[in-house]
Amino acid sequence: MTMAHEISALRDRVLAADEARYQALYVQDVEALGRLLAPDYLHTHANGKTEDRAAFLATIASGRFRFVDAVRTDQQVRAAGAAVVLSGITTTTLDVGGATKVMRNAFVTVWIDAADGLRMLHWQATALPEA
């Protein structure tokens, strides 16, 4: 297998895992989402609040907000030793108590290759100014 093929395969795996994560978020499938998050996962929201894995899963399970859509652009996948970094821009539509909220963020995620598949170790979002 050539290096270009390996990089392409890694990119495909990470993007597929990230899509599975979003699909779990859309339907608030906490069990499926939990399988995609590393035990020591951290989620840093665009407002600076950081939640550990348990707190993030509880937030999703609470139904306080529901992911409706997330359009990702400018995605880059880079290998960094045992970790894989996925970054880009996301325009995320949420339902917050019946009201629609749209956020545009730059994001960075770190994925690790566990024995049973890719696991997200960290999510970091940065709010982007309105265009």
pLDDT digits 0-9 by tens, 101-130: 999 999 999 999 888 889 999 999 999 988
Rounded to two decimals, the pTM is 0.90
Range of the domain at 79: 3-127
17-40: burial string, b at 16+ Cβ within 10 Å, e else: bbebbbebbeeeebeebbebbbee
What total number of domains does the chain contain?
1
Whether the predicted pLDDT of 7 surpasses 80: no
**CATH label of the domain that carries residue 80:** 3.10.450.50
